Amino acid sequence: MLDFVMPQSIRPMVVVLAVLSLGACKGGGSAGGTDLPPLTPGGSGTLGSYYVLDFSPWESIASGVRSSARYVLQQSTWHFSSAPSVEYTSNPLAAARIDYAHAVGLTGKGQTIAVSDGGFNTRHEVFSGKSVTITGQISPDDHGTMVASVAAGNSAKMTGVAPGADLIVGAFDTTSLLAQTGTRALQMGAVAWNNSWGYTNTPVNQTSLSNFFTSQADLAYLASLRAYAAQGVVVFALSNDETDTNSDLMAALPMFDGSLQDGWLAVGNAVPTFDSTQILSATRLSAGCLEAAEWCLVADGAWTGAQATSNTAYDFATGSSFAAPQVSGALALLAEAFPSLTPHQLRIRLLAAADNGFFAADGSTELAPGFFHDYSTEYGHGFLNVKAALMPIGVAQLSVDGQAIPLPQATVFSGSGVGDAVAASLASQTMTVVDSLAGDFSVPAKVLSVSAAPVALSARLAENGRQAVSGNSAVADAGVEGFATFRGTEVAMEAADSPISVRVLLPAGGDGSLGLAVTRHFGDGTSGLDLGLKLTRDGGEVFGLGDGAHGSGTAAASITLGLRGALGQDGFVRVGAEFGLAAASGSGALTDVGQVAFNSLGVDLGQSNLFSQGDRLTIGIDTPVTVTAGHGTTHLPLRSVDGITRMSALDVGLAPDSREMDLKLSYQVPLNERTNLRLDLVRATNYGNRAGVTEAAGALSVRIAF
């Protein structure tokens, strides 16, 4: 039996450097630095009330965080003393997108990180104000002090990854001390147990395992690893020898005990080149992930951190020692953001969110049912990406009427007749969605509402102009007999002496709108009454709310009325109205929709022979098809102000508060026997029945007969 290897054989994962230009990339602020920009509190639960489907509202704050002195401290240009001609540029906080977590107020508050290392100066200013639990006897040590500061340090000079997290610290001198730290970590519910050290010359094989876990104390340590890994996440740094061809024993220990893998991460050191969205390339400075690849990732281990020499001392170094505590700190940030997830689930999020686009994959592993992520033997799952871990991964699902469906399928499509009514009904509600990795996200319910763009004003005017210059001026100006707000091709059929006219709307696509309108005309061309019946199937642009693509398929029936009269010599007035009902089947999350009532109104005043014989000037006001009554019901997981999610019934009104009103002006004149010209202008307020939206358009129509 071999005894436990003495402390001198324990290898801290660090390489000490000669710094070429540590301050060359720095700027702004004094040595004392400035704090993070002020943040608005976010409430309870997953990132509180912040938008998490998209971080763009927080870009300016994230930019301020990146430019703060405590972040600039970590920007460095450096080289190894053994190779002074090879320079590296590091910015580890920005490379791992930790700035986005800090921008939304996440600090790891309420979480605990355990650290086993050579020793610690727990009186250093970076640990002031936090709980630091000590197991066994510790002595001051630069390495352990710096590792702990990277994970959870917080001072005016520097910020660690999780500055609000508490610490458990213990020495790695014996397996008994290691076991004590593991036991305390389990008792206190630490989210991570960081180990920035390893045994020398211990390639992962059965011989190494037999040599290093032999005595009772060794086996007790192994038992503590197993017990803690069943609940939390053990984090081990890789060897700093980039020429290693086998992973070391501790990083790859789950190879011998599969039960450890769910609670195990190995971390390497790599300097990346990156832009605002992705890692472009990386230079590996530690051993590769190798046999540990399926539970491994990398981070930039070039840091300026706390030193044990005084309570205000800082220094710079690089190594996997300082990559590993970034991952431990990231777990604390995620634990604060996702209070309902276990440390094992948070571990999966980190692996799934790791940026793996800069290397060719060697394999793929199923991190969750149906969710696979590529990895390489060199970089594991890729580069640490906290921002991506805080966003939905895979398919975001929403519970609708008790059934989980992908968020896009829950979208409620409404048309111009409904306008912004659905969005207004949902505006004050917040709901919870769950991604493929069980992460729950607080999302404004109004994201479910998508309103189809109305038929463009220019298209309406073009159709009016076409009808008018073709000799159907009365029909074009009255409006309600036709299908101006629907997309498609309209065909009019009228016999010269018949009092009945028929209009047909032909769909532009396979599921587009179609319609039939039959009108009975009473009186003559100057004055009279028009009565009609109109049947339509909406392609989604007017009502939406159907179960077809983009809310298509809603059937509607309406009665149209028209009055025509003369005003003095060559003057005229026309009034048109439409009243109808639509039978909507429901769209997305809006599964229970009954009949909705709608109408449209139009008034035209005009004068013929005003400037020349046969001309016509018309002014008018139209209110296109608008839903005037109707409700839908949905059952959604709504989040209350106290952060608790409850399935709740929600009544959704379908009648918009602000109705579209179109002011129209048209002038038509025959230029000669063969040429007819018409100009149309319109200005729409509350366009598409959406409050505050204004549009204007014009059209010039010319007909030349040959």
**Contacts by 577-580, CB closer than 8 A, 24 or more apart:** 577/480, 577/601, 577/602, 578/480, 578/534, 578/625, 580/534, 580/556
Q: What is the pLDDT of residue 101?
A: 93
The pLDDT assigned to 177 comes to 97
What are the catalytic residues? 117, 143, 321
pLDDT score of 29:
27
pLDDT given at position 11: 56
* pLDDT at residue 219, as a whole number: 95
Amino acid letter, residue 319: G
Phi/psi of residue 330, each to 5°?
-65, -40
DSSP of 288-310: --GGGGGGEEEE---EEEE-TTS
Q: Fill in the amino acid letter for 410.
A: A
User: What pairing do the DSSP bridges indicate for beta strands 192-195 and 112-117?
Assistant: parallel
For the domain 7-29+52-389, what is the CATH code?
3.40.50.200
Q: How far apart are CA 129 and CA 31, in angstroms?
A: 21
According to the model, what pLDDT value does residue 30 have?
26
Angle at 554 between CA 553 and CA 557, to 5 degrees: 130
Q: Where are the domains of the chain?
A: 7-29+52-389, 457-633+655-704
Residues in the chain: 706
Residue spans of the chain under pLDDT 50: 1-9, 14-52, 473-478
Integer Cα distance of 223 and 532 in angstroms: 84
Q: In sequence order, what are the residues at sequence separation of 6 or more whose Cβ sits closer than 8 angstroms to the Cβ of residue 483?
A: 490, 503, 505, 513, 515, 517, 536
Confidence at residue 245, expressed as pLDDT on a 0 to 100 scale:
94
Instruction: Determine contact, residues 537/545, Cβ cutoff 8 Å.
Output: no
Coil, helix or strand for 666? strand
Q: What residues contact residue 10 under an 8 Å CB cut-off, 6+ apart?
A: 118, 172, 173, 197, 198, 199, 200
- pTM across the whole model: 0.74
Encoding tokens for residue 85?
């001609």
d(CA 671, CA 665): 19
pLDDT score for 632: 93
Q: Does domain 457-633+655-704 have CATH number 1.10.3710?
A: no
Q: Is 432 left (phi over 0), alpha (psi -120 to 50) or beta?
A: beta
Report how far residue 18's alpha carbon sits from residue 133's, in angstroms, rounded to the nearest whole number: 34
Greatest extent of the chain over all pairs of C-alpha atoms, in Å: 119
